[in-house]
Structure 1
């Protein structure tokens, strides 16, 4: 555990300094405290001023713009004198820190700190004179406690207001690098060092305008701010030279830098000259950590420091270890550049949580692992609810909406529907009717259709009553007419009797059942093609539906015959009609598409309604019984067509709800004969025209589809958490604009999901919209809440 040592210094070298020492573990309250005093030391004040004067006379090309210092003598003499002055300052410093009045502080240090511990020594003072002292040369730090690093700070401060020290799930550290006026120096070396950093995304501003810097600091979040170029401090004001003609004071960047801190700026590195003034002003803006050069810095020293610092810091070690190592490496060039190791210094906010390169990012593997785990858990939960039928109602509602949203199709010209309307009930031929159609009217109708050369005729009207002896010709026609098909009913759930028999005399090969399979809301979405009667006493034993019999007969004339594949699926020509069936997966029953809790008995497929002018009623040509009997039908409407005969009279209530809706918002009902015709059209159009059938993805396909949208939701949740963190501390108009962008992005993703599902439905593929939407929203919300809570915890830690 790293130890924190705080030395609060109140006073100066002329009047003496009151000292308070605090010792504790990093991140916790101090456990040890004592006080002491350092006497006035005018000799050291003079020595530090002389060293500074001698040092500044050495360099012609440094990263400072200032008046030239006139100094006589050779460069070697100046270097030697600079070394001498440095030694004097070091001697004065350590003698001063051995003062009797300072002994309680020193003894408390030695008692509570071990030489092998990593120690952060925080010098908290307002006095610039004390900040100029080379505290890193204190014998306790430089000789006995080799893992200690001295850091400058201020006595009082407010808590850090940064949202968080890390960017959640960010895999790149964001660096804004400003390369200012480079007259006489080489900042290109700085650029090359930054470009080589691992896991970093660096944006360079080369000799920018003020507006460029301001925009970047306001509009984007940054982890590190870097400056290389000329700078200087004069009195209470410091400035940086951003290009050959312009300079910026820290005050001019005040609001932009505060915004950057609020958005996560953790470290500012000013690899330029005379940085103590910069550090003082930057610290007032609550930038957590700042690295500056205390004096004018030769170009080579600046480059060497940056190289060694970045190597250590980006390897994962602390900023203190990185600065300490880089400073020690500079010792090796002090023969040419005296005082080089004195230059780099850290100035930081007292409440900062010490940062490392790893704290600025979360490894990619951890990021992906967390995201995938959350998305997988939520996907499993939603699939569990779906398997129990909890989402079926909603899935079918959106199925209906997709059905209604499809483009309009042409009428199916292969069919003709002969309807028996309310007016047709009062025709002279209908006088002896016992239902919707008398035997006489039916006989005349069949004669007319035969004359007009209908290819296939289906009667969607029950004929259970016996034919009268004087109408035996009708029975004869049914027996001999190979293109006529009659209807029967296998069972009736609303009545307690075993079905309705087919017309007497119609051979079993030309019988078809009328049974349909409405869903729990009574809407017909499925097409029942074949079944075996569950009741052996049923009066209807037809194995196929009437619509299937009509389609088979019509297609046989085209040379296309029904057969079954090895997997048991019906095949007509090249078209395979995959049945709606249960599929066992890990002891559970997964059904086709949105159907989870449904009876899939018999041979069922999904019914792909054909609509014309937005309605399933007008999808095929229709004529009335009167039109046919009175010869008002164009022969071309009948020749080689499939003709279905049925009633549309409201008094007989042979109507079924469909996925379509009326203008009043109610489910649109269609007569039974129209429903049978829809089913015939589906079979024939699929074979002859390649019209798509509606099918669902396989189980594994649905799982991957739903999980994939969960991952998308998780990724969006990361963006939400980052945006929320950005929004909280923004001002108008950025706050409202950011929220608007967030809403638009979320709406765009949901809209995109809907559009993709709709397009696939147009192609006949029913993909899960409702569960995909749920996992997308739930995963996104969970990830956003989780990361926001983590950010809050980190913020709480950083302010305690």
Structure 2
């Protein structure tokens, strides 16, 4: 009578616990006689103990059947030469692993799990025939020392074995068995790459088997292995000895010094061999979990592999004892269990008894040696695959467990899940408060301004602004007409421009005294008369930071003249990196105690140019402009102490400053059509009258030896073009609003309370990701997706004029995952 105990670990991990189901099958077939569900709680240290044992075990001084391969451990651990220290550490962690596994399975308080455990003890105690236990779980759980489970203590048959199977499998199709001559076991034995190992004991153990038809292949080619597998007479056992390895989920065998084979490379030959009757595969080589998984997918009934790198002498001993017991008539599970016990004599390899494992299709019965010889029909099989219910238990469609078996563990699991969510959100909230505090104190200002510059550079490239014309005096103009440009030349330039009816002219040349030149007729008086008679001209003066450092307007202007604007700009050199120019002073605030200066105008050059253009094109009353930074119908948002990424402007926020939205042209110094003074005066190409009529014309010096350049998010831009960028920004915003399609709005930002909600939202998402994705890889993938979404929102908002903080929510997203990663890492390190 055969009995199968199936323990199915449905889902979960060591951080959150596992859902578990139990079924017991008898040789009567049909339905399981027992069907229970339960829950195993988290165990945060078990994987760490296994990893520490694994790494020490792989460093022990011994040739193994994978020694020349890269196992990937040395990158994570200090370089050591295997010796007494490694051996003692290996023993320590093997003992810790076994003790913790036993305690975890014994003292779990979940009622469902205790019912499962008691039922397994009962079934083992009542057993009157052969019994085997199947662990149906993710392959990572196959590595755990399940033989330490206390249910195996003091039982009548201490040689009960354990097999493993994947969670999903297919019921095998009927095998088309071929005839064979005589009662023999046909074995295809491949002896692969034997570098640094001795395969002679394996060959002798195979050759000494009774009633065997053996086909040995010594370091064969890949083609030879595939050809032999396709033998029409079929094989009972496929055996491999040599080097092997698992990469990812793929198993690789090294068949000779030059060639290797992945299971996927000869799977069709294996399928054909299985259809022809292949029952058992034995891989007496290293790291065979990848081999076992791939063979299970091909519906091979049974495979025996080594779950880790195996020392050569351990592999030789296991094979010899297993074949002796199996050929003598022991059940396959019993033969493996007895062989595992024989490995206890290798005291220098702690934990080696658990290296050989059985991987089996649970719908098949492991064949006995006699069944392989005579191909006798098997007297037992599980008739239906085990299904997974919505409740997390396992049972057949025809038989449902009692309701109380289905409710206890899920309720407890949900309670634990909600507590974990609460803890994650609480940690995320604390992180958010810390980040908001750092932001409020200005600790993140430098990063946020750099993020703003980065996003600005990612805005779509734009065409030049055809509402503007720049007349720039280059080095040739200054050498031709003189430096500074004489008043007579400026008069001629203004007269020439006004001849073609511009909307506004900005003379961006600071001049507080006449500049005469005997080579040119006319002079200062002519210049003043022309300016006083032309209301579309705006001049400049310089406010400075002291009376001596300031510059008065051009002398001779009429009393109360409204044509003078200031030019002052402020970069961020005092409190931010790169000294970049991001702010522009649009107009000065009323000050009851005026600062000592020779430049008393309250409005900037840009302000004057914009109001003249809008009056000319849209017939807007000038009086509407001089209140609250408003160009009807658009209000320009001005900077305060806490605005967007700026958190400590304080005294730097004097006046009414706006953020500059630079026009993203291919060349930031070519924001508009540009001609030289001589091009204009001589009316030669690229001069065109159509580029003046109705436009804003800015006149100034572009020669780099005279004109200062400013650092911006787009690189160096000279002062004349800085004013052109701001004029373009405001005109685009106002005219876009008037047309109902504002494609270049001026930059705005949220109030502080909205900013706080924004950061809290992303911190909550960071906590949710930690809770929803316990697996590190899944968590990092989800986190990467969230970061891309955050980045996309901030970039899209900037195209609409909105400066939404990027750095604070990014920190609150990343920090929970980093904290959990480092916590786990230091927990593992603390085991050393």
TM-score (norm 2): 0.51
Which residue of 2 is the match for residue 759 of structure 1?
796
Q: Deviations over 1:387-424 (max 9, x none)?
A: 22111112111211222222221111111111111111
Residue 600 of structure 2 corresponds to 541
617, 636, 660: which is aligned to 2:669?
617
Alignment partners' CA distance in 1, 2:770 and 2:29: 54
Deviation digits for residues 368-392 of structure 1 (CA, Å, limit 9, x no counterpart) = 3222211111111112112221111
- Give the 3 Å change call, closer, same or farther, for CA 604–297 of structure 1 in structure 2: closer
1:634 aligns with 2:682: no
Contact 1:456–1:553 under 8 Å retained in 2: yes
Distance in 2 between residues matched to 1:296 and 1:470, nearest whole Å: 113
**Could you report, residue by residue, the CA deviation over 1:35-67 in whole angstroms, capped at 9, with x for unpaired residues?**
xxxxxxxxxxxxxxxxxxxxx99x897669xxx
Cα distance in 2, alignment partners of residues 516 and 385 from structure 1: 29
Does the Cα contact within 8 Å between 2:707 and 2:719 map onto a contact in 1? no
1:548 and 1:683 in contact (8 A); partners too: no
How much has 1:578 moved relative to structure 2?
1.6
* Residue matched to 2:701: 647
**Which structure 2 residues correspond to residues 368-767 of structure 1 after superposition, within 5 A?**
368-428=421-481, 430=482, 436-466=484-514, 471-492=524-545, 497-505=549-557, 507-520=560-573, 521-532=578-589, 535-557=594-616, 558-561=618-621, 569-582=628-641, 590-597=642-649, 599-613=652-666, 615-632=667-684, 633-661=687-715, 668=716, 670-689=717-736, 690=742, 691-718=744-771, 721-723=774-776, 746-767=783-804
Q: The residue matched to 1:396 in structure 2 has which SS? A: helix
Equivalent position SS for 1:652: coil
What CA deviation, in whole Å up to 9, does each residue of 1:521-550 have, x standing for no partner?
A: 431111221113764432111111111111
CA contact (8 A) 1:467 1:475 kept: no
Q: CA RMSD in A?
A: 5.3
**Structure 1: tracts of 5 or more residues without a match:** 1-55, 65-117, 134-149, 162-174, 183-217, 220-245, 257-275, 288-294, 317-355, 583-589, 662-667, 724-737
User: Which residue is equivalent to 1:172?
Assistant: none
Contact 1:686 / 1:692 at 8 angstroms: preserved in 2? yes
Following the alignment from structure 2 to structure 1, what is the Cα–Cα distance between the partners of residues 557 and 625?
Answer: 33
Shift of the alpha carbon at 1:636? 0.9
Partners of 1:129 and 1:363 in 2: CA distance:
32
Instruction: Provide the rounded CA distance (Å) in 2 between the counterparts of 1:119 and 1:747.
Output: 41
Distance 1:627 1:129 in 2: 103
Task: Within 5 Å, give how 1:131-280 maps onto structure 2.
Answer: 131-132=126-127, 152-155=151-154
CA offsets per residue over residues 311-362 of structure 1, 9 Å max, x none? 223332xxxxxxxxxxxxxxxxxxxxxxxxxxxxxxxxxxxxxxx5456555
Q: Aligned pair in 2 of structure 1 residues 478, 779: CA closer, same or farther (>3 Å)? A: same
| CA pair 307-756 structure 1, distance change in 2 beyond 3 A | same
Q: Match of 1:315?
A: 407
Cα shift at 1:306: 10
Q: In 1, Cα distance between the equivalents of 2:580 and 2:488?
A: 35
| Structure-2 separation of matches of 1:124 and 1:365 | 30
Mapped to 2, the partners of 1:502 and 1:533 lie a distance apart of 24
Measure, in 1, the Cα distance between the counterparts of 2:705 and 2:382: 101
Q: CA deviation at 1:571?
A: 2.8
SS in structure 1 of the partner of residue 714 of structure 2: strand
Distance 2:397 2:779 in 1: 42
The verdict on how the C-alpha distance between 1:612 and 1:303 changes in structure 2, with shifts beyond 3 A counting, is: closer
For the residues of structure 2 that align with 1:402 and 1:297, how far apart are their CA atoms?
62
What is the rounded CA distance, in whole Å, between the counterparts of 2:426 and 2:117 in structure 1?
42
| Distance verdict in 2 for CA 1:361–1:420, change over 3 Å | same
In the alignment, what sits opposite 1:332? none
Q: Is the 8 A contact 1:522 1:657 kept in 2?
A: yes
2:811 match: 774
Distance 2:302 2:460 in 1: 63
How many angstroms apart in 2 are the aligned matches of 1:460 and 1:631? 21
The residue aligned with 2:278 is none
Structure 2: distance between partners of 1:398 and 1:391:
11
Q: Distance in 1 between matches of 2:462 and 2:556?
A: 39
Tell me the TM-score normalized by structure 1.
0.53
Cα contact 2:449–2:645 (8 A) shared by 1? no
SS of the residue 2:506 aligns to? strand
Task: Identify if the C-alpha distance between structure 1 residues 303 and 125 changes in structure 2 by more than 3 Å, giving closer, same or farther.
Answer: closer
Could you tell me how far apart the structure 1 residues matched to 2:462 and 2:565 are?
28
User: What SS class does the counterpart of residue 543 from structure 1 fall into?
Assistant: coil
* Alpha-carbon distance in structure 1 between the residues aligned to 2:679 and 2:395: 99
- Equivalent residues of 1:417, 1:644 under 8 A apart: yes
The runs of 5 or more residues in structure 2 that have no matched partner are 1-25, 34-112, 129-148, 174-248, 251-297, 309-330, 341-353, 359-379, 385-393, 517-521, 737-741
| Aligned partner of residue 617 in structure 1, secondary structure | coil
Give per-residue Cα distances to partners, 1:674-733, cap 9 Å, x unaligned. 11111111111111132222222332332233233323333444466424xxxxxxxxxx
Shift in Å, 1:464: 0.5
- What's the CA shift for 1:553? 1.0
Which deviates the most, 469-478 or 686-695?
Answer: 469-478
Match of 2:208 in 1: none
Contact 1:464/1:504 (CA < 8 Å) preserved in 2?
Answer: no
Q: Give CA deviations for 1:744-794 in whole Å, capped at 9, x if unaligned.
A: 65545434433332232222222222222222211221244557889999x
Give the aligned partner of residue 259 of structure 1.
none
> Any idea what SS the aligned residue of 2:809 has?
helix
Instruction: Look up the SS of the partner of 1:675 in the other structure.
Output: helix
Q: What is the distance in 1 between the residues matched to 2:395 and 2:508?
A: 93
How far did residue 605 of structure 1 move? 1.6
> Contact conserved, 1:63 with 1:296, CA < 8 A, in 2?
no
Check conservation: 2:643, 2:751, Cα contact below 8 A.
Answer: no
For 2:827 and 2:405, the matched residues in 1 are separated by 25
> 1:561, 1:573 within 8 Å by CA — same for their partners in 2?
no
